[in-house]
Chains A and B, each alone.
Chain A
């Protein structure tokens, strides 16, 4: 089978296996959603607090670096030993993957929020929690969302590895070439990529509605892509220098 025909055959594959694709899409989203949700619950409060205190940049960057350095397949393998096969395993592995971008972006966003506005807020007698939630967080939203979007793309496109550890999702098709042939792999890949892009668009939409009007235009086009982690890492390190 040539590659060209595989690409062509991927479309009939979709119509023939629409039930399977839809079923696994639901599983895929369940898995990814759980991982991203858990990562948010862990990483956002940490990023918010450390950013608010302007401390722990060193901790954040190192946590993020270690998290990013862990090969997902190796994490899955180690978890196979510890928690065995299945949903828990792959969710933990994906959470490890999702935390670094959310953590660094949230931290940097809050840490870099207009210091004069924060000082003015403090001088006017706003409580610290109000300063964090009503001044710093709105200003940091574009970056917070950039981190979230990056994580979402990483998680959705890495989730097919779940199939190797007994998980469900579109990976079930992708890792089973003998059953579904290359055309099936390509079809499933389209779906994964589409899910990732849709997640990005959804997050972008949510970001737009949540971002205060005057901050909307300036940030939507920059700082929104996966490898921004490197730029942000840089920003954090810069912050530690005089």
Chain B
């Protein structure tokens, strides 16, 4: 049963009030017993589904945007349409988009992935194009002057230059997808959104809220962290914080706002 259906008509069913531990029946803040008995049946599968939804969406989105980016970054052809599409897509609530797609593509994974991929495309495309265009003109010119072919320039210069931007875009795409995928459970029983809607329908069962939401937050932070590591590996020069630290105390700086001072 999807969240949609549950919200619509389901009965609140906090499990087994009669025999269950009092924590469960009184909707205690966090019932370890209930949680541990549902890890394997509920949370672990939901987490794995969530990862699956995210990985599929980002992979497909990455592939499609990469193709488009590589073929169009030298021209400004797609810039305006993408900007326009971007503005429209982000103005549409995800919770509505999922529902509107249902009559077209059904209640399955396809509906979710279409929406999720659409949201990743724009972020990824733009970050790729930005990255590929980030090579300073003098670098490009000297590369041409050294006799590198267009292809060599792409592989040896533009692509490495684009890596930081692409990874930055990937980070945004991944966390956005994780966030939107929780909402997907509103139309289909998939991912960590499912226990959240389930808990709402049980009369706001706190244990389930905390468990599912924490898993979703943790997943997003861990994925983001992994991408930071990836970034460090692929583009170590970005992480190097070689700037000199200014150890001026905070209070002194605040005071300086009113009275200018030598730095």
**Of the residues A71, A80, A189, contact of B93 by C-beta under 8 Å:** A189
- Is B155 interfacial (CB-CB < 8 Å)? no
- Indicate if the CB atoms of A185 and B258 lie closer than 8 Å: no
- Chain B residues, CB < 8 A from A231: 126-127, 130, 165, 168
Closest chain B CB from A110 CB (angstroms) = 13
In the complex formed, the residue of B with least CB distance to A232 is: B168
Cross-chain pair count, CB within 8 angstroms: 219
* Cα of A215 to Cα of B169 in the assembled complex, Å: 28
Contact between chains at A175 and B95 (CB < 8 Å): yes
Contact with B along A203-233 (1 / 0, CB 8 A): 0000000000000000000000111011101
8 Å CB contacts to B: which residues of A56-97?
58, 65-66, 68-75, 77-78, 80-81, 85
Contact A65 B171 (CB under 8 A): yes
Q: Are the CB atoms of B99 and A65 closer together than 8 Å?
A: no
**B173-229: which residues lie under 8 A (CB-CB) from chain A?**
175-176, 178-179, 182-183, 186, 192-193, 196, 199-200, 204, 206, 209-210, 212-214, 216-217, 220-221, 223-224
Whole-angstrom distance between the Cβ of A121 and the nearest chain B Cβ: 9
Partner of B213, one of A75, A153, A200, A238: A75
Which residues does chain B contribute within 8 Å of A174, judged by CB atoms?
93, 95-96, 99
A231–B237 CA distance with the chains assembled, in angstroms: 17
Of the residues A2, A55, A122, A241, contact of B240 by C-beta under 8 Å: A241
Contact of A185 among B100, B204, B241 (CB under 8 A): B100
Residue of A1, A72, A237 near B164 (CB, 8 A) is A237
**11 A-B pairs, CB-CB below 8 angstroms?**
A49-B253, A77-B209, A78-B217, A80-B209, A132-B257, A160-B96, A186-B96, A227-B123, A227-B127, A231-B126, A242-B240
Chain B residues at the A interface, C-beta cutoff of 8 Å: 4, 7-9, 29, 83, 86-88, 90-97, 99-100, 103-104, 122-123, 126-127, 130-131, 164-165, 168-169, 171-172, 175-176, 178-179, 182-183, 186, 192-193, 196, 199-200, 204, 206, 209-210, 212-214, 216-217, 220-221, 223-224, 237-243, 246, 253, 256-261
Q: Which residues of A contact B (CB under 8 A)?
A: 1-3, 6, 49, 52-53, 55, 58, 65-66, 68-75, 77-78, 80-81, 85, 122, 125-129, 131-132, 153-154, 156-161, 164, 171, 174-178, 182, 185-186, 188-189, 192-193, 196-197, 200, 225-227, 229-231, 233-234, 237-238, 240-242
